[in-house]
Amino acid sequence: MLGTNEIINTAWRKGLAVPAFNIPYLPMMEPVIGAVRAEDAFALIEVARLEWIKFEAGGTAAVAREFKRWADTEHVRLHLDHIPVVDEDGVEVDYLSIIQEAIGLGYQSVMVDGSRLNLEDNIEATRQAAVLAHAAGVPIEAELGAVLGHEAGPLPPYEELFASGQGFTHLEEARRFVQETGCDWLSVAIGNVHGAISGALKDQTKMAAKLDLDHLQKLREATNIPLVLHGGSGIPRDYVLGAIKAGIAKINVGTEIRQAYEKTLRSKGSVSAAQSAVYEHTRWLLCQHFGLSGDREKIGASVSTEE
Q: Which residues bind ligand 13P (CB under 6 A)?
A: 22, 48, 81-82, 194-195, 206, 230-233, 252-255
Whether the Cβ atoms of residue 10 and residue 17 lie closer than 8 Å to each other: no
Cβ closest to ligand 13P, residue 19 vs residue 300? 19
CB of residue 303 to ligand 13P, shortest distance in Å: 27
CB of residue 196 to ligand 13P, shortest distance in Å: 9
CA distance 274 to 251: 23
Cβ closest to ligand 13P, residue 2 vs residue 125? 125
CB of residue 285 to ligand 13P, shortest distance in Å: 10
CB of residue 187 to ligand 13P, shortest distance in Å: 8
Cβ closest to ligand 13P, residue 126 vs residue 233? 233
Strands 185-188 and 140-144: parallel
Cβ closest to ligand 13P, residue 258 vs residue 300? 258
CB of residue 258 to ligand 13P, shortest distance in Å: 7
Cβ closest to ligand 13P, residue 206 vs residue 220? 206
Cβ closest to ligand 13P, residue 38 vs residue 207? 207
CB of residue 289 to ligand 13P, shortest distance in Å: 12
- Give the burial string for 258-291 (b: 16+ CB within 10 Å, else e): bbbbbebbeeeeeeeebbebbbebbbebbbebbe
